[in-house]
């Protein structure tokens, strides 16, 4: 007799009316920016754990809100429950679809939990799990909130049963990388590294710690600056459930929020970590990650898309720039600046020409030239 845990979830779900969900989705086709309507549709789909309904609702939602971290994570988690081979296979397909462009630490954490859960601890699977951690950290390891993933990787390496020299080298590499990033737990990792090195050799420990100290101190300094920036960005709580961006209403508070995002992104572009030229790829990965986070949160603000497009062009990320432009126009089809960039392909420096006035071009008539206080200011951009 098959194990109950192997039974597909839809077989044990109670029947529900398709009409109610279909009616909700039909309404959302006509009103695609109705965030409360989307939340109701997801609640209807999830109400009896019926996987076909869940697929239908989340696929429709993610068509309207691509790369939305809370939606992707919730969707994947429906297929990571229990020991069901059929749903695990679907979870893999969704992870393969979402991960490479996802800026969500929680989604990457779910991926790593899945990899570790499906690869028992032994010498044959150690490399698989190690590669999964490296894959994740290469994508989101620069995120402040990825400290727990760095720590989990270090624990995995510590617990692994393998050649002592290889283990020491791998641990040292993982620690050295982590303590030079402004992670939320960077001070704890530094203390752990010091204890690790002292346990190996007190003489070489002093040398290693001295060499790493400038990078660590820079990471701590940048962490304080980063926290100040992020505190004003109205970031989404990953534990708050489905979080969907709403179209702007051009209030003073919204204009201030856009200004803070722009200041933060320019700060990231300025290389506050002072990453050297020979590690330029790390800087590009970091800034790209932060732009992807910004575009999820500020989906309906063309100027943020234009910034992302401009930056990608400036660093030679042509394919990413084209993708950003395409997605930006899907989210903001009436944006004149994005439309002009797409039509011209920027062969004659249109990006540089439009950049100083991109906000003004896309602002509605009523808000043009208004400052953060909502008053008219001749010559001032609405989101400056």
Residue 74 lies in a domain: yes
Instruction: Check residue 86 and give its pLDDT.
Output: 61
CA gap 298, 225 in Å, rounded: 21
| Tens-digit pLDDT profile for residues 217-249 | 999 999 999 999 999 897 766 666 788 999 999
Residue 147 lies in a domain: yes
Residue 371 lies in a domain: no
Residue 261 lies in a domain: yes
Say yes or no: 176 and 162 in one domain: yes
Question: In terms of residues, how long is the chain?
Answer: 384
Residue 150 lies in a domain: yes
Cα 29 to its chain centre, rounded Å, is 27
Residue 205 lies in a domain: yes
Residue 234 Rama label (left phi>0; alpha psi -120 to 50; beta):
left
**Domain interval for residue 80:** 36-116
CA angle (12, 13, 15) in 5-degree steps: 125
CA gap 10, 86 in Å, rounded: 11
CA gap 46, 39 in Å, rounded: 10
- Backbone phi, psi, residue 321, to 5°: -60, -45
324 within 8 A of 295, measured Cβ to Cβ: yes
Say yes or no: 206 and 107 in one domain: no
Cα 38 to its chain centre, rounded Å, is 21
367 within 8 A of 359, measured Cβ to Cβ: no
Helix axes 302-314, 318-331, angle to 10 degrees: 170
**41: CATH:** 1.25.40.10
Say yes or no: 359 and 272 in one domain: yes
Residue 237 lies in a domain: no
Sequence-ordered list of residues with C-beta below 8 angstroms from that of 140, at least 6 positions apart, any chain: 102, 103, 104, 105, 108, 146, 149, 289
List the pLDDT tens digit at each of the 384 positions of the chain.
334 333 344 434 444 455 899 999 999 999 999 999 999 999 999 998 889 999 999 999 999 999 899 999 999 999 887 656 667 888 999 999 999 899 999 999 999 999 998 887 777 788 999 999 999 999 999 999 999 999 999 999 999 888 999 999 999 999 999 999 999 999 999 999 999 999 999 999 999 999 999 999 999 999 999 999 999 897 766 666 788 999 999 899 999 999 999 999 999 999 999 999 999 999 999 999 999 999 999 999 999 999 999 999 999 999 999 999 999 999 999 998 888 887 776 543 445 544 444 554 455 544 444 443 444 333 333 332
Residue 85 lies in a domain: yes
**C-alpha to C-alpha distances, 375 to 18, 136, 158, 240, 357, nearest whole angstrom:** 50, 46, 59, 35, 19
In the chain, the number of structural domains is 3
Say yes or no: 195 and 141 in one domain: yes
> DSSP string spanning 250-314?
--HHHHHHHHHHHHHHHHHHT-TT---GGGHHHHHHHHHHHHHHHHHHTTT-HHHHHHHHHHHHH
380 within 8 A of 259, measured Cβ to Cβ: no
């Amino acid at each position: 007799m098959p194990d109950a845990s192997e039974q597909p979830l839809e077989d044990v779900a109670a029947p529900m009316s398709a009409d109610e969900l279909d009616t909700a989705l039909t309404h959302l086709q006509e009103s695609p920016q109705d965030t409360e309507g989307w939340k109701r549709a997801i609640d209807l789909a999830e109400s009896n754990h019926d996987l076909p309904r869940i697929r239908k609702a989340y696929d429709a939602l993610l068509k309207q809100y691509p790369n939305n971290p809370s939606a992707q994570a919730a969707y994947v988690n429906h297929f990571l429950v229990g020991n069901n081979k059929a749903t695990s296979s679907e979870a893999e397909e969704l992870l393969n679809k979402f991960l490479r462009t996802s800026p969500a630490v929680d989604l990457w954490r779910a991926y790593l939990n899945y990899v570790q859960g499906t690869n028992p601890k032994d010498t044959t699977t150690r490399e698989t799990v190690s590669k999964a951690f490296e894959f994740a950290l290469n994508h989101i390891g620069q995120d402040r909130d990825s400290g727990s993933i760095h720590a989990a990787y270090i624990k995995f390496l510590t617990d692994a049963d393998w050649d002592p020299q290889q283990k020491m080298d791998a641990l040292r590499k993982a620690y050295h990388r982590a303590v030079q990033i402004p992670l939320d737990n960077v001070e704890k990792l530094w203390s752990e590294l010091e204890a690790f090195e002292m346990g190996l050799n007190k003489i070489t420990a002093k040398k290693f710690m001295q060499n790493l100290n400038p990078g660590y101190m820079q990471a701590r300094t940048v962490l304080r600056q980063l926290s100040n920036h992020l505190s004003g960005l109205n970031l989404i709580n990953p534990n708050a459930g489905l979080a969907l961006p709403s179209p702007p209403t051009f209030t003073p508070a919204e204009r201030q929020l856009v200004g803070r995002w722009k200041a933060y992104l320019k700060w990231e572009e300025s290389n506050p970590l002072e990453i050297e030229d020979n590690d330029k790829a790390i800087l590009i990965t970091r800034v790209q990650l932060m732009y992807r986070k910004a575009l999820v949160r500020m989906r309906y603000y063309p100027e943020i898309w234009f910034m992302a497009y401009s930056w990608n062009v400036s660093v030679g990320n042509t394919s990413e720039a084209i993708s950003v432009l395409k997605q930006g126009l899907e989210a903001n089809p009436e944006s004149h600046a994005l439309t002009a960039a797409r039509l011209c392909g920027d062969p004659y420096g249109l990006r540089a020409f439009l950049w100083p006035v991109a906000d003004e071009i896309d602002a509605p008539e009523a808000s043009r030239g208004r400052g953060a206080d909502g008053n008219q200011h001749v010559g001032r951009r609405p989101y400056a």
